[in-house]
Structure 1
Amino acid sequence: MLGILLSDQDKEEIIYLLKREMDEILFDLKDTRIESIVKQSMQARYKTLFSLFKRVASQHECMRYILPSSNKWSGTENK
């Protein structure tokens, strides 16, 4: 197991960077021009970022970034 010591300022900076990256991915997942295979890759990246985010953010902050059901982004939802 590895650990890291962070100051409060460093922690807030990491939270900010993770939020910014996750917001960008969420925005791009809504773009209908992006193919589903690319969206799957983006979802995998989002899950990795979210797992890091859960380690440093409060439970309240994490609730905002829970990824909606995956079929919404893949373009396979019922029309």
Structure 2
Amino acid sequence: MMGMLFNEKECKELNYVLRRELDEMLLDMSDKRLDQDIRNAIALRYKTVFRMYARLAAPKELSKYAIRGRISE
């Protein structure tokens, strides 16, 4: 386990970066032109980034990025 300290501005920036990354991965996972193996790899990465985002975001914000039932693996 690794710990990091961020000031308020850095937390907001990290929150923004993680949201943008989650948005991009959601788009990629819904792109039927991509191979299923690639979409599965993106889904695994999504879970990791989502857990990171969950440490910073409010529960209401998390619900926007919950993927239960959205992705077929």
Same fold flag (TM > 0.5) = yes
Quick one: distance in 2 between partners of 1:56 and 1:47?
15
RMSD, aligned α-carbons: 1.2
Q: Percent identity?
A: 32
The letter of the residue matching 1:34 is: L
The letter of the residue matching 2:64 is: R
Query: How many matched pairs?
Result: 72
Gaps of 5+ in 2: none
The letter of the residue matching 1:8 is: E
Provide runs of 4+ in structure 1 moved above 6 Å: none
Quick one: distance in 1 between partners of 2:58 and 2:68?
19
TM-score by length of 2: 0.89
Task: Look at both structures and tell me which one has the larger radius of gyration over its CA atoms.
Answer: 1
Partner of 1:68: 68
